[in-house]
Amino acid sequence: MSLDVPNNNKMMTAPAAKKGFHFSSDGVHFAEFIEAETIEEASAIYNKVRRLMPGQGPATELVAEQSTGATEIKEEANG
């Protein structure tokens, strides 16, 4: 070992094939860490694998009718 010629580090000779991308939680879906070559590829993977948090299924909203006093349940699908 010489001080004039440093040791070769074989781990640093080439860049990593994939990068890590973090998608933070939006309060409806869990946060995810995706490894991909590009952000576009990571976004496509995230949209396929994202997981809903408990209690965040299709939105159910109670709508009160003021004229009749009846209550109607209105469901909306999350996109």
In this structure, is residue 12 part of a structural domain? Answer: no
The pTM of this model reads 0.51
Domain count of the fold of the chain? 1
In this structure, is residue 6 part of a structural domain? Answer: no
How is the chain classified by DSSP, letter by letter? --SSSPPP-GGGSS--SSEEEEE---SSB--EEEEESSHHHHHHHHHHH--BPTT-SSEEEEEE-TTT--EEEEEE---
Domain with 54, as residue range(s), is 17-76
In this structure, is residue 52 part of a structural domain? Answer: yes
In this structure, is residue 8 part of a structural domain? Answer: no
In this structure, is residue 10 part of a structural domain? Answer: no
pLDDT in tens, 31-67: 999 999 999 999 999 999 999 988 876 654 444 444 5
